[in-house]
Structure 1
């Protein structure tokens, strides 16, 4: 039993090394040359991470089906993954000293290893497994949608990822009752008591 356990751990270690080598073999020069220094996409975050390198941030985005871009703060090794990009919401693309912005399409998908071939759904994230396998887990609750909802008042640190929250209001033609905070539950659904009622009724 011990030999089997050791053999599995050794194989897992070798696989991790091979994945790292595979990522290093991807041509990253073109991707790094397209980074946008001093820029950030605001208020369209999936989630955030501490202690990430910019390549870790890119890989996480590539493994998250909904991810379209990243923000990275180099001094704090802080990563944000976004569900929009600068061309889809240009009004939220701003100058912000210290930040780096990148569109995920500027990177080689092979950085994500087995996850570059994943079939995860739009609200899922691919988790690499040994021997070129992967699993899919729920990553977010998606953008709260509906003609009554508005994302006009989303705050800077709001996010749609699991356990995160986002502030949604009613559009101008509706009366608002309840809290503006939507909280993303672990099953990928929103918890909220916001209701938007027609002003004419």
Structure 2
């Protein structure tokens, strides 16, 4: 009787083991130990077990694979890194010790229940409403990594992260507009799926040019698919973007086309702002090395700086400083009298 009960116990125990093997998710058999694919990580999550990490990936159409570090409960979600996935052609980063790598093609999407085969957008994730027990889509990331025309990322390995709450650090490019107090700044992926800057210049950072009484703040402006850090003045509800300032004669404005496109000078004194040309689509801008005006001579070369010249100008704000001639800083007034200002600011209204 004793041996019969023992046999029954052993059979029951084996039955439990067999049942567990049959219900184990298929992806476990294809896990790659001590591997980590880091080139396309777009989000990291903390405090998750491995299956939760896999599920978070399956809830997002952007996600194709995960890296998981068990000892820290650390989950990394990756977008597609190779065109055709197989276990032999994935390139992994150095020092993958302790990491688990798994591709979503190895898993049954049904483990996420009602969110299996969801149709959420690329920057969304599927969630199940507790009230109605139905799936819905909510924003999960900002869609792309911000690219600046006048700044470089200094976030190192996290410079591909785009998840809600991600923070990327940038440094203004030394060769373009630079202002020491605002050289390093952060971009944060907000809950509404939009990148925004966490830092602006302090209100005490007043321009050195005394004629400019308003205080400019440094803002991040999106121009198409890229961003740029620029000074902005707010007055009576209107926002004005400063694209040029002359006040000391310390900056040479007789520059090449590439320099005008990139911007130059200092935000504290004289400058020509990055991408100012984008505000004047359709008008031909000329510099001494690229003559695009209608004159038989080079207006830019003749007048000491770049501008939207025709034949040649009635305004020359980028001309030689301190010269009371039309090839210096000059402006033709409505009474047909030329003025030669020592201080000048160009601003563009921004809604």
TM-score, scaled to structure 2? 0.42
Matches within 5 A, 1:1-201: 28-29=25-26, 31-42=27-38, 44-85=40-81, 87=82, 93-130=93-130, 133-144=134-145, 154-157=155-158, 159-167=161-169, 175=176, 179=184, 181-192=186-197, 193=220, 195=228, 199-201=258-260
Q: Which has the higher contact order (CA 8 A, sep 6+)?
A: 1
CA-CA distance at 1:33 after TM superposition = 2.1
List structure 1 segments (4+ residues) > 4 angstroms apart after TM superposition.
24-27, 145-154, 167-171, 174-180
Relative to structure 1, is the Cα distance of residues 45 and 180 closer, same or farther in structure 2, using a 3 angstrom cutoff?
farther
Pairwise CA RMSD: 3.6
Structure having the larger proportion of residues in helix:
1
Largest Rg, 1 or 2: 2
Aligned residue-pair number: 173
Gap runs ≥5 in structure 2: 1-20, 84-89, 198-219, 221-226, 230-256, 261-351
Stretches of structure 1 that go unaligned for 5 or more consecutive residues are: 1-23
Contact 1:128 1:134 survives alignment (8 Å): yes
> Which protein has the bigger strand share?
1
The normalised TM-score by structure 1 is 0.68
1:149, 1:107 → 2: CA distance? 43
Partner of 2:270: none
Q: Distance in 2 between matches of 1:42 and 1:103?
A: 13
Assess, with a 3 A threshold, how the Cα gap between structure 1 residues 27 and 101 changes in structure 2: closer, same or farther.
same
1:140/1:184 contact within 8 Å kept:
yes
- Residues 136-179 of structure 1: CA distance to partner in whole angstroms, max 9, x if unpaired? 111000222669599985523452111112346799xx947654
Distance 1:97 1:137, change over 3 A: same
Distance 1:191 1:107 in 2: 36
